[in-house]
Structure 1
Amino acid sequence: MTIRHDGLTVDWFGYATVRIETPDGFVVYLDPGRYGVLDDYDAQDGVSGSDATGGSSPFGDGDLVCVTHVHHYDSDAIERVAKEDATVVAYGGIEADDTDRDVTPLDRLDYEVVTLGQEDRFSVDGADVWTLPAYNEPDGPHTRENGDPYHPEGFGVGYLLAVGGRTVFWPGDSDVLEGHEQLEVSLFLPPIGGAFTMDREEAADLAETLDPDLVLPIHYDTFEDLETDSHAFAADVASRGVPVVLDER
């Protein structure tokens, strides 16, 4: 199902992979790939956008690709979704040696690659990009058995995007953090799977605080540790007077 919001078309493919297209055809991908989330889409099924022939686009249409941290870094998926002249924006802490997956290092990708810190800004024709810290609190609920956070501070980022006259907030793999409540957000993409990120109750509280125009939850049900009740989340958010939608295929 394709979500339409104030001129944007939005598709969630699973895990943290989101495609956003503006009315003028500028396409952004957030954290593409991992766990085969793109494998069910081919040239016949396509996605919500259009290629040069007017047909459905089987990817290869991304103008901007944003990657939050090494867990979501999938160089093959980037090559699948990006245009030849795409810009890849990635957290500067991503190192190919930090994963046992076979990935191409960022500096060897055949695109313009821009690496950002935890609180940076970057502009490209069609979008403004801000990074925000993304991590699990050391004394919070989203830690390993030994107390170490799954995502320690400095491990990754979230993104606030200004595209198509709207602002889109993807917190990344993160707890709810100080400063989130100050953002002005049109489309909120919270992770709700818990375990490694904020859970559905925490995300609903943040949604109420942000009061965005629309909430579209992501980062859940891709594998067992991320299983949650998305319909309970949607009902919770809606009961607080915040518009919410599920993109479940």
Structure 2
Amino acid sequence: MYKVYNMNSVKIEGINIQWFGNSGFLLEGNGKKIYIDPYQIGAEPAFDDRADILLITHEHFDHCSPEDIRKVRRSDTTTLIPESCSLEFRGDARRVAEGDVLADGLEIKGVRIDVVPAYNLDKPYHPRELGVGYIVELGGLRIYHAGDCDFFPEMEDIRADIALLPIGGTYTMDEEEAARAAAAISPKVVIPMHYGSEGIDGDPEKFKAFVNSKNPDINVIILDV
């Protein structure tokens, strides 16, 4: 059902998910390319491989990277960016905040996108007003990108087929807390993110073991870069 390519991408029910490291992803399906928090993506993609839609979760440098944003945007790219982010964009750029479209969602270029909360409970790094998470409906799948966050109460209400969850600790959930979040969401697949860079030491295998102990029906897919 799930085919991993080159260790950094996986195809799930016709949707290709590529991980760039940290919290950066490319979702491809139904003729659309959706980049989320691109950071250190390497070479500039060919024009046809650039973003139809670009989603930014918050303004921290490893999520809202001007260099990487420049690489993936086209003149017709639609960008969603939190109100708190100071970076200015030309073209179709829309400021969003959790709650603005939480009830009804947005439809952009045939893709439904829900803007959801993303915040820390007991850490100072990500107050509620700083950033957001996104749920992208693509090819019949609901794909949840949590942004930088802890396991906050509203996460109990999130329903997704695929969850992209931070596990690095320090600034976000650690492996055990992220596994509790995964169990609450109960997706078909969970992919760990936001680990492996300087100061972020999360262990994806440890996360997988925690998830398996809580709900063995959840498939944990560990990607590499």
Describe how 1:96-135 pairs up with structure 2 within 5 A. Answer: 105-106=87-88, 109-119=89-99, 120=101, 121-135=105-119
Describe how 1:196-207 pairs up with structure 2 within 5 A. Answer: 196-207=171-182
> Secondary structure in 1 aligned to 2:84?
coil
Look up the equivalent residue of 1:17 and give its one-letter code.
G
> Secondary structure in 1 aligned to 2:75?
strand
Q: Structure 1 residue 38 and structure 2 residue 27: aligned?
A: no
- 1:4 is aligned to 11
Q: Which has the larger radius of gyration?
A: 1
The structural deviation recorded for 1:76 is 2.3
Look up the equivalent residue of 1:112 and give its one-letter code.
D
The structural deviation recorded for 1:8 is 0.6
The structural deviation recorded for 1:236 is 2.2
Q: For residues 175 and 6 of structure 1, what CA distance do their matches in structure 2 show?
A: 29
> Secondary structure in 2 aligned to 1:216?
strand
Q: Structure 1 residue 16 and structure 2 residue 23: aligned?
A: yes
Look up the equivalent residue of 2:120 and give its one-letter code.
N
- 1:67 is aligned to 56
> Secondary structure in 2 aligned to 1:198?
coil
- 2:222 is aligned to 246
The percentage of counterpart residues that share the same residue type is 30
> Secondary structure in 1 aligned to 2:137?
strand
Contact 2:47 2:74 in 1 (8 A): no
The structural deviation recorded for 1:237 is 1.6
Q: For residues 202 and 37 of structure 2, what CA distance do their matches in structure 1 show?
A: 21
Q: For residues 48 and 128 of structure 2, what CA distance do their matches in structure 1 show?
A: 33
- 2:70 is aligned to 79
CA 1:247–1:58 in 2, change beyond 3 Å: closer, same or farther?
Answer: farther
CA RMSD of aligned residues (A): 1.7
> Secondary structure in 2 aligned to 1:217?
strand
> Secondary structure in 1 aligned to 2:192?
coil
Deviations 1:67-122 (A, max 9, x none): 01110212221121123311001111111xxxxxxxxx32xx23310111112232
Contact 1:160 1:168 in 2 (8 A): yes
Describe how 1:98-247 pairs up with structure 2 within 5 A. Answer: 105-106=87-88, 109-119=89-99, 120=101, 121-137=105-121, 140=122, 143=123, 149-223=124-198, 225-239=199-213, 240-241=215-216, 242-247=218-223
The structural deviation recorded for 1:19 is 0.5
The structural deviation recorded for 1:165 is 1.3
Give TM-score, length-normalised by structure 1: 0.79
Q: Is there any run of 5+ residues in structure 1 with no aligned partner, and where?
A: 44-56, 96-104, 144-148
The structural deviation recorded for 1:134 is 1.4
Give TM-score, length-normalised by structure 2: 0.87
Q: For residues 44 and 79 of structure 2, what CA distance do their matches in structure 1 show?
A: 23
Look up the equivalent residue of 1:115 and give its one-letter code.
R
Q: Which runs of 4+ in 1 moved over 3 A?
A: 57-60
Look up the equivalent residue of 1:87 and give its one-letter code.
T
Greater per-residue strand proportion:
2
The structural deviation recorded for 1:42 is 6.2
Q: For residues 220 and 42 of structure 1, what CA distance do their matches in structure 2 show?
A: 23
Q: For residues 94 and 50 of structure 2, what CA distance do their matches in structure 1 show?
A: 19
